[in-house]
Amino acid sequence: MALSNKQKQKIKELLSQKIKNKLTSYGRETTSMPFLARLIQDNEKIAAYSFIHSMATTLGMSIYEDVSVIIASENSYEAFRNYGVGGAISNKQKTVISNIVTGLRNKERTASIDKEVKEVLEASAENGEFQRSGNIADFYMNRDGEEHYFEIKTVKPNIDVFEKSKTKLLEWVARRRKPIKVYLAFPYNPYYPKPYHRFTEVGMMNPPNDFLVGDEYWDFIGGHNTFSELLKTFDEVGKKFRDQLNTKFKEIAKEKIDSY
Protein backbone atom coordinates (compact mmCIF):
# COMPACT_ATOMS: atom_id res chain seq x y z
CA MET A 1 0.00 0.00 0.00
CA ALA A 2 1.25 3.50 -0.82
CA LEU A 3 -0.62 6.80 -1.09
CA SER A 4 -4.29 6.72 -2.01
CA ASN A 5 -5.85 9.49 -4.08
CA LYS A 6 -7.59 10.72 -0.93
CA GLN A 7 -4.28 10.97 0.93
CA LYS A 8 -2.61 12.77 -1.96
CA GLN A 9 -5.43 15.29 -2.06
CA LYS A 10 -5.21 15.92 1.70
CA ILE A 11 -1.46 16.46 1.46
CA LYS A 12 -1.90 18.84 -1.49
CA GLU A 13 -4.51 20.82 0.42
CA LEU A 14 -2.25 21.02 3.47
CA LEU A 15 0.75 22.24 1.46
CA SER A 16 -1.33 24.63 -0.63
CA GLN A 17 -2.80 26.27 2.44
CA LYS A 18 0.64 26.69 4.00
CA ILE A 19 1.99 28.36 0.86
CA LYS A 20 -1.09 30.59 0.44
CA ASN A 21 -0.81 31.75 4.04
CA LYS A 22 2.85 32.60 3.57
CA LEU A 23 2.25 34.45 0.29
CA THR A 24 -0.41 36.54 2.01
CA SER A 25 1.25 37.22 5.34
CA TYR A 26 4.95 37.42 4.53
CA GLY A 27 6.73 40.62 5.33
CA ARG A 28 10.49 40.90 5.26
CA GLU A 29 11.85 41.26 8.77
CA THR A 30 15.44 41.90 7.69
CA THR A 31 15.80 45.05 5.61
CA SER A 32 19.59 45.30 5.70
CA MET A 33 22.11 42.60 4.76
CA PRO A 34 25.04 44.79 3.64
CA PHE A 35 27.68 42.07 3.32
CA LEU A 36 25.52 39.50 1.53
CA ALA A 37 24.08 42.17 -0.76
CA ARG A 38 27.57 43.17 -1.92
CA LEU A 39 28.66 39.58 -2.46
CA ILE A 40 25.58 38.30 -4.30
CA GLN A 41 24.90 41.45 -6.35
CA ASP A 42 21.35 40.29 -7.05
CA ASN A 43 18.51 41.67 -4.96
CA GLU A 44 15.97 39.21 -6.34
CA LYS A 45 18.06 36.20 -5.34
CA ILE A 46 18.49 37.61 -1.86
CA ALA A 47 14.75 38.26 -1.68
CA ALA A 48 14.10 34.67 -2.73
CA TYR A 49 16.52 33.43 -0.06
CA SER A 50 14.78 35.55 2.57
CA PHE A 51 11.34 34.24 1.62
CA ILE A 52 12.43 30.60 1.32
CA HIS A 53 14.13 30.74 4.71
CA SER A 54 10.96 32.17 6.24
CA MET A 55 8.90 29.49 4.50
CA ALA A 56 11.15 26.73 5.83
CA THR A 57 10.87 28.15 9.34
CA THR A 58 7.09 28.28 9.09
CA LEU A 59 6.84 24.70 7.91
CA GLY A 60 9.46 23.53 10.37
CA MET A 61 9.17 19.88 11.30
CA SER A 62 5.42 20.17 11.82
CA ILE A 63 4.72 19.63 8.13
CA TYR A 64 6.26 16.16 8.36
CA GLU A 65 4.21 15.37 11.44
CA ASP A 66 0.99 16.45 9.72
CA VAL A 67 1.83 14.43 6.60
CA SER A 68 2.72 11.41 8.74
CA VAL A 69 -0.74 11.45 10.32
CA ILE A 70 -2.41 11.66 6.89
CA ILE A 71 -0.36 8.72 5.63
CA ALA A 72 -0.73 6.46 8.67
CA SER A 73 -4.42 7.13 9.28
CA GLU A 74 -5.56 4.76 6.54
CA ASN A 75 -3.55 1.75 7.66
CA SER A 76 -3.41 2.16 11.43
CA TYR A 77 -5.87 1.86 14.28
CA GLU A 78 -4.97 5.40 15.34
CA ALA A 79 -2.40 8.04 14.43
CA PHE A 80 -1.63 11.36 16.14
CA ARG A 81 0.97 14.11 16.19
CA ASN A 82 2.24 15.71 19.43
CA TYR A 83 1.09 12.65 21.35
CA GLY A 84 1.37 12.63 25.14
CA VAL A 85 3.13 9.44 26.19
CA GLY A 86 2.19 9.88 29.86
CA GLY A 87 3.44 7.66 32.65
CA ALA A 88 5.96 8.04 35.45
CA ILE A 89 9.69 7.34 35.55
CA SER A 90 11.56 5.99 38.56
CA ASN A 91 15.09 6.88 39.64
CA LYS A 92 16.21 3.31 38.96
CA GLN A 93 14.87 3.51 35.41
CA LYS A 94 16.65 6.84 34.91
CA THR A 95 19.91 5.34 36.16
CA VAL A 96 19.66 2.40 33.76
CA ILE A 97 18.90 4.74 30.84
CA SER A 98 21.77 7.05 31.77
CA ASN A 99 24.17 4.10 31.94
CA ILE A 100 23.05 2.86 28.53
CA VAL A 101 23.54 6.27 26.88
CA THR A 102 26.90 6.78 28.57
CA GLY A 103 28.05 3.34 27.46
CA LEU A 104 27.04 4.08 23.88
CA ARG A 105 28.74 7.47 23.88
CA ASN A 106 31.97 5.98 25.26
CA LYS A 107 31.78 3.05 22.83
CA GLU A 108 31.66 0.64 25.74
CA ARG A 109 28.63 -1.06 24.22
CA THR A 110 27.00 -1.50 20.82
CA ALA A 111 23.56 -0.06 20.13
CA SER A 112 20.79 -2.68 20.29
CA ILE A 113 17.34 -1.24 20.92
CA ASP A 114 15.82 -4.64 21.79
CA LYS A 115 18.45 -5.20 24.47
CA GLU A 116 18.14 -1.63 25.72
CA VAL A 117 14.34 -1.89 25.98
CA LYS A 118 14.72 -5.14 27.94
CA GLU A 119 17.12 -3.50 30.39
CA VAL A 120 14.80 -0.53 30.94
CA LEU A 121 11.80 -2.78 31.55
CA GLU A 122 13.76 -4.90 34.02
CA ALA A 123 14.53 -1.81 36.13
CA SER A 124 12.17 -1.21 39.03
CA ALA A 125 9.43 1.34 38.30
CA GLU A 126 8.66 1.71 42.02
CA ASN A 127 8.20 5.26 43.32
CA GLY A 128 8.15 6.67 39.82
CA GLU A 129 7.18 10.31 39.29
CA PHE A 130 5.68 12.06 36.30
CA GLN A 131 8.27 13.97 34.27
CA ARG A 132 6.89 16.68 32.04
CA SER A 133 9.99 17.07 29.85
CA GLY A 134 10.23 14.51 27.08
CA ASN A 135 6.60 13.47 27.44
CA ILE A 136 5.53 14.32 23.87
CA ALA A 137 6.12 12.12 20.83
CA ASP A 138 6.18 14.03 17.55
CA PHE A 139 4.20 11.25 15.90
CA TYR A 140 2.43 8.15 17.21
CA MET A 141 0.61 5.31 15.52
CA ASN A 142 -0.98 2.09 16.73
CA ARG A 143 -0.89 -0.62 14.08
CA ASP A 144 -1.91 -4.24 14.56
CA GLY A 145 -2.01 -3.70 18.31
CA GLU A 146 1.59 -2.43 18.44
CA GLU A 147 2.45 1.07 19.63
CA HIS A 148 4.98 3.09 17.59
CA TYR A 149 6.43 6.37 18.89
CA PHE A 150 8.56 8.70 16.76
CA GLU A 151 10.92 11.60 17.41
CA ILE A 152 11.23 13.49 14.10
CA LYS A 153 14.32 15.68 13.87
CA THR A 154 16.22 17.87 11.43
CA VAL A 155 18.60 15.86 9.28
CA LYS A 156 21.97 17.20 10.47
CA PRO A 157 21.81 17.25 14.27
CA ASN A 158 24.76 17.62 16.60
CA ILE A 159 25.82 14.90 19.02
CA ASP A 160 23.67 16.29 21.82
CA VAL A 161 20.53 15.69 19.76
CA PHE A 162 21.39 12.02 19.24
CA GLU A 163 22.06 11.54 22.95
CA LYS A 164 18.93 13.40 24.02
CA SER A 165 16.81 11.54 21.48
CA LYS A 166 18.14 8.16 22.62
CA THR A 167 17.38 9.10 26.21
CA LYS A 168 13.88 10.24 25.28
CA LEU A 169 13.12 7.04 23.35
CA LEU A 170 14.13 4.86 26.28
CA GLU A 171 12.20 7.07 28.69
CA TRP A 172 9.09 6.47 26.57
CA VAL A 173 9.60 2.75 27.18
CA ALA A 174 9.93 3.40 30.90
CA ARG A 175 6.77 5.51 30.92
CA ARG A 176 4.72 2.85 29.12
CA ARG A 177 6.21 0.01 31.24
CA LYS A 178 5.84 -2.46 28.38
CA PRO A 179 7.58 -3.27 25.09
CA ILE A 180 6.84 -0.54 22.54
CA LYS A 181 8.51 0.51 19.30
CA VAL A 182 10.46 3.77 19.49
CA TYR A 183 12.29 5.57 16.69
CA LEU A 184 14.34 8.60 15.81
CA ALA A 185 13.29 9.58 12.27
CA PHE A 186 14.70 11.95 9.66
CA PRO A 187 12.35 12.97 6.81
CA TYR A 188 15.07 12.72 4.15
CA ASN A 189 18.72 11.81 3.62
CA PRO A 190 20.80 14.96 2.92
CA TYR A 191 23.67 12.78 1.64
CA TYR A 192 21.63 10.89 -0.98
CA PRO A 193 22.53 8.84 -3.00
CA LYS A 194 25.14 7.89 -0.41
CA PRO A 195 23.90 6.21 2.78
CA TYR A 196 23.17 8.51 5.71
CA HIS A 197 26.33 9.09 7.73
CA ARG A 198 26.71 11.76 10.36
CA PHE A 199 29.83 11.86 12.51
CA THR A 200 27.76 13.06 15.47
CA GLU A 201 25.70 9.86 15.50
CA VAL A 202 28.72 7.97 16.94
CA GLY A 203 26.97 4.62 17.31
CA MET A 204 24.15 5.98 19.45
CA MET A 205 21.37 4.46 17.34
CA ASN A 206 20.57 0.99 16.02
CA PRO A 207 19.40 1.54 12.41
CA PRO A 208 16.90 0.64 11.10
CA ASN A 209 15.47 -0.72 14.36
CA ASP A 210 15.29 2.64 16.14
CA PHE A 211 16.59 5.01 13.44
CA LEU A 212 14.77 5.59 10.14
CA VAL A 213 15.93 7.95 7.39
CA GLY A 214 14.03 9.17 4.32
CA ASP A 215 12.35 6.37 2.40
CA GLU A 216 12.88 3.99 5.34
CA TYR A 217 10.59 6.18 7.43
CA TRP A 218 7.92 7.04 4.88
CA ASP A 219 7.67 3.54 3.44
CA PHE A 220 7.49 2.12 6.95
CA ILE A 221 4.44 4.17 7.91
CA GLY A 222 2.76 4.13 4.49
CA GLY A 223 3.98 1.10 2.59
CA HIS A 224 6.20 0.48 -0.42
CA ASN A 225 6.76 3.49 -2.73
CA THR A 226 5.22 5.96 -0.27
CA PHE A 227 8.36 8.13 -0.30
CA SER A 228 8.54 8.40 -4.10
CA GLU A 229 4.82 9.18 -4.34
CA LEU A 230 5.14 11.76 -1.59
CA LEU A 231 7.91 13.53 -3.50
CA LYS A 232 5.73 13.58 -6.62
CA THR A 233 2.90 15.12 -4.60
CA PHE A 234 5.18 17.86 -3.27
CA ASP A 235 6.44 18.43 -6.82
CA GLU A 236 2.91 18.88 -8.16
CA VAL A 237 2.13 21.49 -5.52
CA GLY A 238 5.41 23.28 -6.21
CA LYS A 239 4.67 23.52 -9.93
CA LYS A 240 1.19 24.83 -9.18
CA PHE A 241 2.58 27.73 -7.14
CA ARG A 242 5.77 28.37 -9.15
CA ASP A 243 4.51 31.49 -10.93
CA GLN A 244 2.99 32.95 -7.76
CA LEU A 245 6.24 32.38 -5.88
CA ASN A 246 8.33 34.00 -8.62
CA THR A 247 5.99 37.00 -8.59
CA LYS A 248 6.43 37.22 -4.82
CA PHE A 249 10.22 37.15 -5.14
CA LYS A 250 10.12 40.07 -7.59
CA GLU A 251 7.74 41.98 -5.33
CA ILE A 252 10.02 41.55 -2.31
CA ALA A 253 13.10 42.43 -4.35
CA LYS A 254 11.71 45.91 -5.11
CA GLU A 255 12.62 46.86 -1.56
CA LYS A 256 16.39 47.01 -1.58
CA ILE A 257 17.87 45.37 1.49
CA ASP A 258 21.20 47.20 1.47
CA SER A 259 20.65 50.42 3.36
CA TYR A 260 24.31 51.25 4.03
pLDDT, one tens digit per residue, over 176-188 is: 999 999 999 999 9
pLDDT, tens digit, for every residue of 199-221?
A: 666 789 999 999 999 999 999 99
pLDDT bucket at 115, cuts 50 / 70 / 90? very high
**pLDDT for position 259:** 56
User: DSSP assignment of 123-164, as one string?
Assistant: S--TT-EE--TT-EEEEEEEETTEEEEEEE--SS--HHHHHH
34 falls in which pLDDT band (50, 70, 90)?
Answer: confident
Residue 140 has pLDDT above 80, yes or no: yes
Determine phi and psi for 88, rounding to 5 degrees.
Answer: -110, 160
Provide the whole-model pTM. Answer: 0.90
Decide: helix, strand or coil at residue 208. coil
Quick one: pLDDT at residue 199? 62
pLDDT level of residue 222 (50, 70, 90 thresholds): very high
Least confident of 56-65, 120-129, 223-232, 237-246: 56-65
